[in-house]
């Protein structure tokens, strides 16, 4: 069984975020409600907010909800309609939680007024601090639950962020540990790996590569080479921006299908860098055209196979419906002796 890697301070950070982070988020979300209540409860100073102050408070609350909806979708670029839907869900969760806390507060206040416990001097309503704390905690809890639900829904089809690799590190014969945990490569990253040859997949070469897709146990990559491929149709120039600080020129193999590289063949636990934007756009276009050609070929093959089946079925049906010609009437009778 693989050992779990424990990062020092991660548990403390999660506890602090749970204790102080989400309550602070709930406090920011309920500023348009709690701050006017605080001003109305105080005895000195302004007891109401101006329209400009209310607009600023609602703007802060809206920005916080929008940031939460954006963060819930992870690294992917959010779609506008989906972002607005998640923003509305988070807003409804905070509003319902605040409404429920207000109803609880009113019930407790009514109970105190109906059944005073300390005589005439007992309080007949809850202080503002208790009410604001109850509403803030309720809103923070509801928003946190909704946030994690949206995050789970958006990432339910994503592969696990880390993968456990069994066996020694490629290229080394050290006996050491036979299990290591690395971060799963993401599309658009440049990694160093042992890439299998197309002629013989059992033989590998050490190359940089661009991750095109990541699967359960392997990644589909495009190989980067430093050999001069000027004028070759199968290769395009690949810039060194952000991943290789040497002066060597590189080329990317784009004409052939991507190669499958098992996760155990990656040589480093972290990527070399990100693919330059221009090169990634070219890779995306090439992959989209290849998928379009594959779908067209598949549809043509399906249509041709279906047409042949129809022809065979039609020919078989005609053979089945045909009847042999009837013999002449006199041919089937036996001749009478003379």
At residue 293, the pLDDT reads: 64
Q: Which residues of the chain have pLDDT under 50?
A: 1-10, 120, 177, 317-322, 324, 327, 330-338
Q: What is the pLDDT of residues 6-32, one digit of tens each?
A: 344 445 655 666 677 888 888 888 888
- DSSP symbols for 134-177: HHHHHHHHHHHHHHHHHHHHHTTTSPPSEEEEESSPTT----S-
Judge contact between 167 and 192, C-beta under 8 A. Answer: no
At residue 66, the pLDDT reads: 92
Q: Rounded CA gap, 30 and 51, in Å?
A: 17
At residue 124, the pLDDT reads: 59
At residue 312, the pLDDT reads: 54
This prediction has a pTM of 0.48
Q: Give the pair of three-digit tokens for residue 134.
A: 């109850």
Judge contact between 258 and 212, C-beta under 8 A. Answer: yes
- DSSP symbols for 46-80: --S--HHHHHHHHHHHHHHHHHHHHHHTTTSPPPH
Partners of 185 in the β-ladder:
none
Please list the alpha-helical segments (H only) found in 158-276. none
Q: How far is CA 219 from CA 8, 202, 216, 253, 276, in A?
A: 30, 17, 8, 16, 19
Judge contact between 122 and 116, C-beta under 8 A. Answer: yes
Q: Rounded CA gap, 238 and 272, in Å?
A: 14
Q: Rounded CA gap, 237 and 249, in Å?
A: 8
At residue 74, the pLDDT reads: 72
Closest to 1 in 3D by CA, of 175, 218, 178:
178
Helix (H, G, I), strand (E, B), or coil: what is residue 263? helix
Cβ-proximal residues to 61 (8 Å cutoff; 6+ apart), any chain:
28, 29, 30, 31, 32
Closest to 7 in 3D by CA, of 215, 268, 181, 206:
181
β strands within the chain, DSSP E:
162-166, 179-183, 189-196, 204-214, 218-225, 235-238, 250-253, 259-262, 273-274
């Amino acid at each position: 069984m693989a050992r779990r890697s424990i990062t020092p301070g991660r548990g403390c950070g999660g506890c602090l975020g749970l204790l102080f982070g989400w309550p602070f988020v709930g406090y920011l979300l309920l500023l348009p409600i709690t701050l006017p209540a605080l001003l109305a409860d105080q005895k000195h100073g302004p007891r109401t907010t101006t329209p400009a102050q209310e607009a600023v408070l609602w703007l802060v609350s809206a920005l916080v909800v929008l940031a939460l909806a954006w963060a819930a979708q992870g690294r992917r670029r959010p779609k506008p309609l989906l972002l607005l839907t998640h923003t509305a869900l988070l807003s409804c969760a905070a509003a319902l939680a605040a409404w429920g806390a207000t109803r609880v507060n009113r019930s407790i206040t009514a109970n105190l007024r109906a059944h005073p416990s300390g005589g005439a001097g007992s309080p007949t309503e809850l202080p503002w601090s208790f009410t604001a704390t109850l509403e803030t905690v309720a809103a923070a809890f509801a928003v946190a639950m909704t946030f994690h639900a949206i995050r789970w829904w958006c990432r339910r089809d994503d592969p696990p962020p880390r993968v456990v690799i069994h066996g020694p590190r490629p290229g080394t014969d050290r006996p050491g540990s036979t299990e290591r945990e690395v971060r799963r490569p993401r599309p658009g990253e440049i990694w160093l790996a042992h890439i299998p040859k197309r002629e013989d997949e059992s033989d590998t070469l050490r190359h940089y590569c661009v991750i095109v897709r990541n699967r359960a146990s392997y990644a589909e990559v495009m190989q980067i080479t430093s050999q001069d491929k000027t004028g070759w149709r199968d290769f395009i120039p690949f810039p060194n921006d952000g991943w290789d600080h040497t002066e060597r020129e590189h080329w990317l193999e784009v004409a052939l299908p991507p190669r499958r590289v098992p996760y155990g063949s990656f040589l480093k636990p972290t990527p070399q860098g990100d693919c330059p934007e221009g090169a990634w756009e070219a890779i995306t276009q090439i992959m989209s055209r290849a998928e379009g050609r594959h779908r067209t070929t598949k549809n043509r093959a399906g249509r041709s196979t279906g047409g042949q089946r129809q022809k065979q079925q039609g020919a078989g049906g005609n053979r089945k419906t045909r009847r042999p010609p009837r013999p002449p009437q006199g041919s089937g009778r036996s001749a009478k002796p003379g």
